[in-house]
Structure 1
Amino acid sequence: MTDPTPLSTDTSAEEPLSPSAAYADFKARAEFARTPLGQFMERTEFALDDFQIEACSHLQDGEDVLVTAPTGAGKTLIAEFAVELARGEGKRVFYTTPIKALSNQKFNDLAEVHGSENVGLLTGDTSIRRDAPIIVMTTEVLRNMLYNDVSGLSDLGFVVLDEVHYLADRFRGPVWEEVIIHLPDRVQMVSLSATVSNVEEFGAWLREVRGPTTIVSTTHRPVPLVNHVLVGHRMYDLFTHSDSDRIDPALNHATRTHGGPRSKRARATRARFRRPSRTQVVASLAEAAMLPAIMFIFSRNGCDEAVEQYLSTGTDLNSREEKTIVNAALESLRDDLADEDLGILGYHTFREGLLLGVAAHHAGMIPQFKQLVEELFSQGIIKVVFATETLALGINMPARTVVLEKLVKFNGEAHVMITPGEYTQLTGRAGRRGIDRIGHSVVVWHPTIEVSELAALASNRSYALNSAFGPTYNMTANLLSRMSSDEAAKVLETSFAQFQADKAVVGLARKVRKNEATIEAYEKSMHCDRGDFSEYAGLRRAISDTQKQETRTKSRNRQRDIVESLTALKIGDVVTMPAKRVGGRAVIISPMSSKDGVSRLPTVLTEQGKVWHLRPHEVTEPVASQGRVRVPKKFNHRQAGDRRQLLSILEAAVADGRVDAEAHWESTREHQGESTTVAELQAQMRAHPCHDCPDRELHARWANRADKLIRENDSLIARIEGRTTSIALVFDRVQDVLRGLGFDPEHSTMLRRIYGERDLLVALTIRAGLWDRLNEPELAAFASIFVFQSRRDTLTAHRAPSADLKAVCDESETIWRRLFHLEEQHALTTTDEPDRGLIRPMYRWTEGKTLSESLRGSDIAAGDFVRWAKQSLDLLGQVAEVIDAETAVRVRRTIEAIRRGVVADS
């Protein structure tokens, strides 16, 4: 390793050097100054920290490095040195990032330093100067190149894996491991990660699969962080200044006074306590000279509401000169936006906020808005950004202060406490290097927050990195195209997931032995003199499990039938509603509709002359049309005369037999009552000798406890048995599914080129010829069902804009059901069902409609639409490479039709 000793300049405490030693020191410094690292350090704006010097020295000596450091510590400087080394050696360098926004930022940064002609960008849907010596790309693109474009790697010298801790991400993590496993050994790898607690474990795996790798870790922040808690309108330090782990007594006293979780008077005091409003929080920060700030709000709507709330105060944080800069930036942005789209984009509120110095930042905003917020915030012109946690993912937006409005967020399934790793990631934005002496994190306190829990979050600066790796269909197809199944299994067993699995067996076995002892004690307690109580308990369990499953199935099918029946109703249909509020028949005067993502059920006029807006909880059964009557033109349900006229028409239709009172909804699904299985099990249970035991329920309680532990142990034992070959077992099951669907290695060319969470489903629809039957708008809409994920379950039926599109969507769902059942049979994670939530907006957009027209009637935010449109573009690009030549022409025309306006400009 290059000796960094010559870099030391602090000689104040040293004895004067002898002439010969001074000459040697001078010569060493001169030699170091001629090295790539010495020349690089001469050009850097800041003096390098020790960890940066160490990592760069190892890179200069030809080694791989793994660097873990807090957010804002300067990890990217090491990546910049790797770029310098590659340029000096005449080699190419790939700079990979986990998200497109970060790729765009790095592309601009590197182009500014090295010249735009030397920097390219590859992000799936974007390709700029792909032959440039420096390429910024998403990790997925590099993975695809490793499988399909090895020739493009011949002169590759360095790969930077920025934010490599992403390999723990459930959806994107496996891609990182694929890259690390398949990257040629001759390529130097620079892995940059947030601080993780198991860095030695991760480094040991890297050495195993990559060879010599040096770990360089630091927990030091260049700008120290001070943690605060805002209680009411007063700011307190979380820890004492003399002891960074001891909670400040003044804070403890303040929270007890306001009714903390363990206060005796908590209920009454908490009822009186009011969390300060967002505008009051900003005022407190401004008063304490703690702006600019990022306030994390775990809700998009919350971020937008915060801007609205601030605008209502009229408080202005910007000078006249700053407003001039904002107006100039807005004028440039305004040129790229269509007038008719300004409303749906929320442009006017966005503009007012920027002028006053505040803005929102979340995934629902179009990229152009977010980029402008990032630029103006970095310039110090925006003083407060209300953001969701996505801003913390690598985007360069340091602030003096970071505020956490709450410590609980929705993770997609439940509201949970943020983890220490998330707290570290979020607060890592606090403190601007070279500007702030210290950074500040502020938690807005509420009586539900236990100060000790907050202290634990703040003092725990790391989290464990756990692999999310598993063989996918695409990965399997690519591996089998290059090697035998046994060889591919050996490659997969080199994954970090397998490395961690093998180490975990000892701990799992210890837990099994402990559980077995407890189970034995429970079984003694549940002993019954009348018979085998474990057998009796098994019957009770089987009854309960079967009933729950049947109830879930019935509920799901009934819900779908209700939606379909309501969707089928048109104005003038006569129905009888299964609800107490309506007696007799009713006429549909407004059909089911969807606006802003909220489904509005039909409106009816009852026989009693009442207008009733149906609500979801009131419609408990499917509704069938019993006939139809003519609703007069210009019918206004608010006019009594119009209502009487329609009731007369209804009465006449009933009298002459045009309304069938016996009509009922015909479901396409099978509806079953309680199965014979349950009845048989119940008969066996009643006949069992333990059923009449007087201590039956006491025994049952012990049996339930034993059963819970037995199930846990069965799971642990299964994990132990599969640990040594866990990845290989999944690989075998994936192969079984592929073989069951006719995808052997010789026929998997198409699957090898399709990447995504529904990769096999897309390949099956291509093989079935579904894409060949569609025109351009239909192709765009069809592509969207394989990338779109609805943010919430809604009672909405998404009608296809054309018969052909509806037919292929229906057929794709049939194909998906077959795939789903196969995956369940082989105990694999199931593929998500195609999601039609974007088909109408994508169809309209590809037809040439404006953004406002495209999104009308949906709950899809403009930023989300752009993101899903770009993902649809990515998929269409993949499809164009593997589909029939004639269809490929239409697919490429579809791509051009989508890539316009806000989608192209992003």
Structure 2
Amino acid sequence: MPRSLLIGLPSDKKRENGKRQKGLVSAGKTNEESDIFKMVKMIIQRQYDPVILFSFSKRECEFLAMQMAKMDLNGDDEKVNIETIFWSAMDLLSDDDKKLPQVSNMLPLLKRGIGVHHSGLLPILKEVIEILFQEGLIKCLFATETFSIGLNMPAKTVVFTNVRKFDGDRFRWLSSGEYIQMSGRAGRRGIDQRGICILMVDEKMEPSTAKMMLKGGADSLNSAFHLSYNMLLNQLRSEDGDPEKLLRHSFYQFQADRALPDLEKQVRELEIERSSMVIEDEESVKDYYDLLQQYTTLKKDVRDIVLSPKYVLPFLQSGRLVRVQYSTDESTFSIDENVSWGIIINFEKVKTNTEERRPEDCDYTVDVLTRCSVIKDISGKKTMKVIPIKSRGEPVVISLPLSQIDGLSSVRMYIPKDLLPVEARENTLRKVEEVLSRFAKDGVPLLDPEEDMEVKSSSYRKAARRIEALESLFEKHDIRNAPHIQHKLKVLHAKQEIKAKIKSIKKTMRASTALAFKDELKARKRVLRRLGYITSEDVVEIKGKVACEISSADELTLTELMFSGTLKDATVEQMVALLSCFVWQEKLQDAPKPREELDLLFYQLQETARRVANLQLECKIQIDVESFVNSFRPDVMEAVYSWARGSKFHQIMEMTQVFEGSLIRAIRRLEEVLQQLILASQSIGETQLEAKLEEAVSKIKRDIVFAASLYL
């Protein structure tokens, strides 16, 4: 088991986020050694090499490796061996390909005993680096997470250059499974007594997070089985094919069945607990509870409308008194909400990574000076909670979301320019308290949503009228002043939560006892019937036979394009460029727009994809139409078009900012799609298109893109 060391780094550690240059990026001139340089230097001095340094970005791998450029870890004999192995492998390439920046820039690093390994490298270059690492000629390897999976290449030491990664949706801490997989590379069987694992942490990590990462178990194995149209059509075409039988014998169904006994036990225990909760006059209490729930929901709806940015932003002026909500440790069931008062200092827009949101839907926070309780934990982290303004607490300027604002006053006050001194904040809050005392009888005047804020919404008016009606019902309700009403409402609330939990578990049980994906299976069959892939008796039609052969791209969209004549009408080069949209998955920030004829083809692809997605939506398939359409990307259309026209690899790399290895992988996948389309054309006797597709294969299958593997 590798030992783990957590190394703290300065929080202002610089990361390379610049635009990618050809070959390896330059680290630039620095007067002082970087943290990575110092770390590797210490590892080499203590003879903890070879070392693998894991980074979660291809660009960062290259950037960090270039910071090691002045470090030399190999002797003269080792350098000769590296050069011999390197050029023996590169002899498989043409003279033009040997001049690629990635090839020429890598050798000086390798001779120093430093390597880089990520999916953006040329495949032949990755294989050379793997061979050199196995032979002990690379002492320091910068790699992405993929190096820890499928390759048995351990080292004495593993370093995590970061313990947070972007998973396509957000930045998060590493899971215990990911940590186990990568740290497992530390320690070589029969060579090292123990492996060494070092984590470089450049931001505060909670002890519970560290414990979960270092001590947690491996990620649980759950079925990722999903239905596809290709699978369904092949089952229907087969003489003894039965989609339902396939689903019944899937690991997904097995896991669902295995969970049933535990779910039944949970339901029994919850029902016993619910039965033990006895409430006097439960029917009346339930009636009052339902009114409270309606009231709470309506109040929230009103707040959401009134406090939407388009209405509230003009009134968030500095100095305005504001009513804010606060939470208590115990739930209270009353129409009287927990509110305090404060004074607005400022407001700002919250930065989000989502580009699809409209400006009017952006989130805002409001800086409010109010009374707070401030609690410090063991690590010194402060937790601040809003409390009633007249309670004992600290005067704090706290950022609150708009959802926590309960109302805006028409009263505005002067606030001092400098609120850093505690005395200034305390004096300001005392003045707020004086205003509250002055309006103690009738309450502080609030801005009227319709008259002052000009909220013009029928939903608001309807909700406001309903709130007034509910308030009059509360006044007349018999049980409102009954003894122990708060206790009874709490018990009933707990009972309702148990009821909801039982309902949820029973729903899961019904889904488990029924065949997994049964509804989806029916929906997918409806899609296939409406598109003409199968008959009402589930007999596969000619379009279905084509889709049966396509598994490396979206079968429905590609089949529809094929039958619309788009592939037949385009030239071979245009067709290849269009098909690249099916296999390219990476997102580029500043991808060049393809030429006019390619852009027109891409528009036809988008319209076909949108039609297919909308049809699936109509047939009750859960799909985001725009996300599906945007999954087809034109980023490498120009590069693939030029490659099919006979351009050299170094020429097409000048047209795009993608990594060489990523483009090669896309072209290889494209060749796989073309081979499947050839089989599809043969199955329906489309000889003209078949010949065109074979010509396309011959045009792209050449040179460095399809260079033989060194392992064969």
Q: Does 1:861 align with 2:639?
A: no
The CA deviation string for residues 15-56 of structure 1, in whole angstroms up to 9 with x for no partner, is xxxxxxxxxxxxxxxxxxxxxxxxxxxxxxxxxxxxxxxxxx
Question: Residues of 1 paired with 2:577 and 2:496: CA distance?
Answer: 48
The 1:531/1:850 distance shift into structure 2, 3 A limit, reads closer
Q: Does 1:889 align with 2:682?
A: no
Q: Does 1:228 align with 2:4?
A: yes
The 1:508/1:845 distance shift into structure 2, 3 A limit, reads farther
Question: Residues of 2 paired with 1:716 and 1:707: CA distance?
Answer: 14
Q: Cα offset for 1:451? A: 5.4
Residue 823 of structure 1 is matched in structure 2 by: 616
Among the aligned pairs, what percent are the same residue?
24
Q: Is the 8 A contact 1:399 1:431 kept in 2?
A: yes
The CA deviation string for residues 292-336 of structure 1, in whole angstroms up to 9 with x for no partner, is 11111111111101111000xx22111111100111123234434
Q: Does 1:776 align with 2:572?
A: yes
Letter paired with 1:806: D
Letter paired with 1:779: M
TM-score, normalised to structure 2, is 0.63
Q: Cα offset for 1:733? A: 1.7
Q: Cα offset for 1:228? A: 2.8
Q: Is the 8 A contact 1:530 1:689 kept in 2?
A: no
The 1:504/1:546 distance shift into structure 2, 3 A limit, reads farther
Q: Cα offset for 1:721? A: 2.9
The 1:558/1:449 distance shift into structure 2, 3 A limit, reads closer
Q: Cα offset for 1:527? A: 4.0
Question: Residues of 1 paired with 2:111 and 2:633: CA distance?
Answer: 39
Q: Is the 8 A contact 2:291 2:470 kept in 1?
A: no
Q: Is the 8 A contact 1:315 1:356 kept in 2?
A: yes
Q: Is the 8 A contact 2:247 2:516 kept in 1?
A: no
Residue 44 of structure 2 is matched in structure 1 by: 286
Residue 511 of structure 2 is matched in structure 1 by: 722
Q: Is the 8 A contact 1:526 1:533 kept in 2?
A: no
Question: Residues of 2 paired with 1:364 and 1:778: CA distance?
Answer: 25
Q: Is the 8 A contact 1:784 1:869 kept in 2?
A: yes
Question: Residues of 2 paired with 1:226 and 1:505: CA distance?
Answer: 39
Question: Residues of 2 paired with 1:727 and 1:385: CA distance?
Answer: 45
The CA deviation string for residues 384-439 of structure 1, in whole angstroms up to 9 with x for no partner, is 11000011111132212222222211111011122222112112222223333333
The 1:791/1:708 distance shift into structure 2, 3 A limit, reads farther
Question: Residues of 1 paired with 2:661 and 2:43: CA distance?
Answer: 30
Question: Residues of 2 paired with 1:480 and 1:433: CA distance?
Answer: 50
Residue 112 of structure 2 is matched in structure 1 by: 356
Residue 488 of structure 1 is matched in structure 2 by: 243
Question: Residues of 1 paired with 2:293 and 2:155: CA distance?
Answer: 70
Question: Residues of 1 paired with 2:305 and 2:245: CA distance?
Answer: 44
The 1:493/1:839 distance shift into structure 2, 3 A limit, reads same
SS of 1:746's equivalent in the other structure is coil
SS of 1:402's equivalent in the other structure is strand
The 1:751/1:448 distance shift into structure 2, 3 A limit, reads same
Question: Residues of 2 paired with 1:441 and 1:503: CA distance?
Answer: 38
Residue 499 of structure 1 is matched in structure 2 by: 254
Residue 296 of structure 1 is matched in structure 2 by: 54
2:701 to 881, 885, 899: 899
SS of 2:169's equivalent in the other structure is coil
Letter paired with 1:278: I
Q: Is the 8 A contact 1:401 1:430 kept in 2?
A: yes
SS of 1:822's equivalent in the other structure is helix
Q: Cα offset for 1:731? A: 1.6
Residue 600 of structure 1 is matched in structure 2 by: none
Q: Cα offset for 1:809? A: 2.2
2:593 to 793, 799, 810: 799
SS of 1:409's equivalent in the other structure is strand
Question: Residues of 1 paired with 2:705 and 2:648: CA distance?
Answer: 12
1:755 to 551, 559, 563: 551
Residue 224 of structure 2 is matched in structure 1 by: 468
Aligned pairs for 1:29-40 (under 5 A) are none
SS of 1:723's equivalent in the other structure is helix
Question: Residues of 2 paired with 1:877 and 1:777: CA distance?
Answer: 16
Residue 765 of structure 1 is matched in structure 2 by: 561
Residue 531 of structure 2 is matched in structure 1 by: 741
The 1:691/1:827 distance shift into structure 2, 3 A limit, reads farther
The 1:447/1:768 distance shift into structure 2, 3 A limit, reads closer
Q: Cα offset for 1:867? A: 0.7
Q: Cα offset for 1:720? A: 3.6
SS of 1:785's equivalent in the other structure is helix
The CA deviation string for residues 170-196 of structure 1, in whole angstroms up to 9 with x for no partner, is xxxxxxxxxxxxxxxxxxxxxxxxxxx
Letter paired with 1:768: S
The 1:802/1:710 distance shift into structure 2, 3 A limit, reads farther
Q: Does 1:402 align with 2:164?
A: no
Structure 1 unpaired stretches of 5+: 1-224, 234-254, 256-273, 560-677
Question: Residues of 1 paired with 2:699 and 2:83: CA distance?
Answer: 32
Residue 851 of structure 1 is matched in structure 2 by: 649
1:731 to 521, 533, 543: 521
Residue 320 of structure 1 is matched in structure 2 by: 76
Q: Is the 8 A contact 2:639 2:655 kept in 1?
A: no
TM-score, normalised to structure 1, is 0.50
Q: Cα offset for 1:465? A: 0.7
Residue 838 of structure 1 is matched in structure 2 by: 636
Question: Residues of 1 paired with 2:571 and 2:495: CA distance?
Answer: 60
Q: Cα offset for 1:810? A: 1.7
The CA deviation string for residues 752-781 of structure 1, in whole angstroms up to 9 with x for no partner, is 111035222222222222211122221221
Q: Is the 8 A contact 2:97 2:704 kept in 1?
A: no
Residue 462 of structure 2 is matched in structure 1 by: 684
Question: Residues of 1 paired with 2:650 and 2:127: CA distance?
Answer: 21
Question: Residues of 1 paired with 2:497 and 2:148: CA distance?
Answer: 40
Residue 376 of structure 1 is matched in structure 2 by: 132
The 1:784/1:447 distance shift into structure 2, 3 A limit, reads closer
Q: Cα offset for 1:706? A: 12
The CA deviation string for residues 715-767 of structure 1, in whole angstroms up to 9 with x for no partner, is 76654432222222222221111112111032121111110352222222222
2:190 to 434, 437, 445: 434
Q: Is the 8 A contact 2:252 2:516 kept in 1?
A: no
Aligned pairs for 1:228-307 (under 5 A) are 228-231=4-7, 277-307=35-65
Q: Is the 8 A contact 2:644 2:700 kept in 1?
A: yes
Q: Cα offset for 1:276? A: 6.8
Residue 67 of structure 2 is matched in structure 1 by: 309
The CA deviation string for residues 819-874 of structure 1, in whole angstroms up to 9 with x for no partner, is 21233331335583222122111111111112232133433111100111111111
The 1:890/1:531 distance shift into structure 2, 3 A limit, reads closer
Aligned pairs for 1:562-711 (under 5 A) are 679-690=457-468, 693=471
The 1:308/1:736 distance shift into structure 2, 3 A limit, reads same
Q: Cα offset for 1:508? A: 5.4
SS of 2:191's equivalent in the other structure is coil
Q: Is the 8 A contact 2:36 2:64 kept in 1?
A: yes
Structure 2 unpaired stretches of 5+: 11-31, 311-351, 360-455, 475-485
SS of 1:812's equivalent in the other structure is helix
Q: Cα offset for 1:679? A: 4.2
Letter paired with 2:258: K
Q: Is the 8 A contact 1:275 1:445 kept in 2?
A: no
Letter paired with 1:421: G
Question: Residues of 2 paired with 1:726 and 1:449: CA distance?
Answer: 40
Q: Cα offset for 1:441? A: 2.1
RMSD: 4.2
Q: Cα offset for 1:440? A: 2.5
Q: Is the 8 A contact 1:531 1:690 kept in 2?
A: no
Residue 202 of structure 1 is matched in structure 2 by: none
